[in-house]
Amino acid sequence: MRNYNKTLYTLITILVIYTVSFVVFIMYSITNFAFSDFYKRLDLRRNLAAERMFNGKSSQTGWSLSYVEELNNQREFVVEFDKNEQIIHQSGFDPRLWNRVNKKGVSNFKVGNTFYSTNYYPEKGKAYIVGVSAENYFYTHHIHYLRNLLFIALVLGVLFVIVVSLFVKRSFIKPIHELINEVKTIGSENLYLRLSEEKDKGVLNKLANTFNRMLNRIETSFETQKNFISNASHELNTPLTSIIGIADLALSKDRSVEEYKQAIQKIVDAAENLEKKTSALLLLARTGFENNNQHFKPVRIDQIVMDAEMTVKAINEHFHIKTDFSMLPDDSMKLKVKGSAPLLQLAISNVVSNACKYSPNHTAYVALGAFDNGVLILIKDEGIGIPESELSYIYDPYFRASNTANFSGYGIGLPLARNIIKMHDGQLSVSSVLGKGTTVRIELPTITAF
């Protein structure tokens, strides 16, 4: 902000200096023109006066002094001087100005508001100075008026520049302060908040959009971590409890070798199940962090859907998924999207896992198809559904519907999936009927649409 103020004040200073310089230039140019033009007019009258004095007519110029407009307070004078440049005789001349007169040629000078034009004339062995003086009415009246006018214009111009600059500063800084205040309200507890974006495509709007995209990535990372904790606390608890129970039972009393083998085999099976779940959970957690900020590249959405199904089944062997690929297009290019395969797998896995979890038969129905410039993924269940009055809150982190008390979870899977889809310029929408099931619709643009 200080740099902006410094730049603004520098621009104001430059504009003020330019305005002052422009006014001074105009004043100097007009004044110089007024002087040179007036001296030319005095030179003409001086020559006519010399012709009349020495020749009694205006034979050289063809002009008569009587036909030339007389200037304001115009006076003619003549001075006769000797070889030592001492005045012998003068008529109408102020001797105090003798030192300012050129005794060998033309001289023009000004005393107060009176302008003088003189010239040396040798006549019959004598030396004369003939001159004309007059007041420059344009200089004494119009120039003063112009000077006052330019001064007023200068003051008004400077004030205008300052007022406009301050107005521009305020209009520019105000939205910046609003963005700063909005940023201050965003923390780890409310990462779902976003900065306001205007419809225009200005720099501030681009800044807000860039910041919102960064928040999407940060929120995805946070929610991925919480998603891992949520799944791990539920999915790992059952096999661990089973292993501990079998071991305690086997050690409670002496048993035969065959019984010990059976117990150890059960522990091995439970451990293998635990290893599969741990690997799947770590895969989901790792994708949320390692691939959150990588460059997107072309991926096949059908392969991602199948990988997501395998991950869900690895986490919970009781989950069942029925996939319909009958709507797949013949052209495989229509199934390619630009994005991160692990992130998309994470999003789809969360949605499919929720569909299985909230269904009495733990079954999710997945359909994949294509449309103009995009692909469509439908994930449906026949579970408990979502109350209509609560549908508007399902994307809020940690929100859980009122009818999910008997199901484990933290309310972060769906918001996480939606953020990932938004990062890929897609849309995720949910429709639900209480007691009949929920349908999640995911649309992603294909590569040709980018």
pLDDT values of the chain reduced to their tens digit, one per residue, 450 residues: 556 667 777 777 887 788 788 888 888 888 788 788 888 888 888 888 888 888 765 444 444 545 677 888 888 899 988 888 888 888 888 888 999 998 889 999 988 888 999 999 988 888 999 999 998 877 777 777 777 888 888 888 888 877 887 777 777 777 777 788 888 888 766 777 777 777 666 777 888 888 887 887 777 677 666 666 666 666 667 678 878 888 888 888 888 888 888 888 888 877 876 776 676 556 555 555 545 545 678 889 989 999 889 888 887 888 999 998 888 887 777 888 988 888 888 889 889 988 998 888 899 999 998 888 889 999 999 989 999 888 888 877 667 888 887 777 666 678 778 878 887 889 999 999 988 899 999 999 988 654
Q: How many domains does the chain have?
A: 2
Contact 374, 445 (CB under 8 A): yes
Which of 121, 141, 161 marks a domain boundary?
141
One domain for residues 268 and 407: yes
One domain for residues 442 and 301: yes
Structural domain contains residue 251: yes
Query: Which whole-number Å values give the CA distances from 399 to 89, 164, 272, 388, in the listed order?
Result: 115, 49, 33, 14
Tokens 């392969």 map to which residue? Answer: 303
One domain for residues 88 and 216: no
Structural domain contains residue 183: no
Structural domain contains residue 179: no
Tokens 């200073």 map to which residue? Answer: 13
Structural domain contains residue 160: no
**CATH number for the domain harbouring residue 330:** 3.30.565.10
Which of 102, 125, 141 marks a domain boundary?
141
56 backbone φψ class: left, alpha, beta (φ>0; ψ -120 to 50): left
pLDDT at 116: 92
Show the CA angle centred on residue 429, arms to residues 224 and 193, nearest 5°.
Answer: 50
What is the bridge-based pairing of β-strands 427-433 and 107-111?
Answer: unpaired
**What is the domain extent for residue 211?**
206-449
One domain for residues 134 and 210: no
- DSSP, collapsed to helix, strand or coil, labels residue 238 as helix
Structural domain contains residue 200: no
Which of 141, 172, 193 marks a domain boundary?
141
Structural domain contains residue 157: no
Structural domain contains residue 182: no
Q: 269, exposed or middle or buried, with CB in 10 Å at 0-12, 13-18, 19+?
A: middle
**Calpha distance 51→60 (Å, rounded):** 8
One domain for residues 17 and 90: yes
State the virtual CA torsion across 54, 58, 63, 68 in degrees, nearest 10. Answer: 30
Kindly state the tokens that stand for 106: 């033309």
Structural domain contains residue 236: yes
